[in-house]
Structure 1
Amino acid sequence: MTYDVDTLAPALYATTDDMLKEYPDLARWRPPVGITPRLSDAELVTLATMQAMPATAASSGACACTWSAPFRAACPSSSP
C-alpha cells in the first residue's frame, strides 16, 4: 500500500463522510432555511487536515496539491 496525499485525501474524505452519516449528531446543526453550504462537512475536514500537513514537495518547487483541484473548482474563492 502506498502512503501519499493522493491516497490519504480520498480515504479521509470517505471515512469522515461515512462516520457523519452513521453519527449525524457529530455534525454541526444547520437551520432548515438559509444559506446552503458550498462544501460538505467531510470536505471541510479533509481540506483542513490536508492544509495542516506539511507539504515537503511544495517547498521544493514541485506541486504536491493535486488533491485540492476538485475543491478549488467547487469553491474558487478559496484558491490562493
Structure 2
Amino acid sequence: MKRSQFGYTVIGDKGLSGADFEDLVAALGGAFLRPDRRDEAPRFGNLGGCRQWIEAIFDQLKDQLSLERHAAHTIDGLCARVAQRLLALGACVWHNREVGQPGRSLIAHDH
C-alpha cells in the first residue's frame, strides 16, 4: 500500500463508497482506500491484512487500555483520554521495538 503524497491515507469499509466522500478526502489532501466491491472494476485491491491489523488495535484499545470505560464528561475530555491511550500504545510499541519484544505486547508494562 502506498502512502499518499500528501502524507495520510484514509481506509474505509466497502459500505463507505461514493464519489462525494472520495472527492472530500482528496480535497483535504488525502488518499482514500477501501476494499473493492463485487459490482465494480478492481481499483484498490485486497485490504484484508490491513483490516485485521486495524481490528487488532481497536480490540487492544478497548480491552487492555479500557477505551470503552473512559469516563469523560465533555468532548474535550474524551479527546484527551483517547489521545492519552493512543500515545501510551505508541510508547509501548516504540519501547518494545527498542528492546526486541513483540510490537504491541503490553505485558511488560502492565503494573
TM-score (norm 1): 0.29
Greater RCO (CA < 8 Å, at least 6 residues apart): 1
TM-score (norm 2): 0.24
Instruction: Tell which structure's C-alpha radius of gyration is larger.
Output: 2
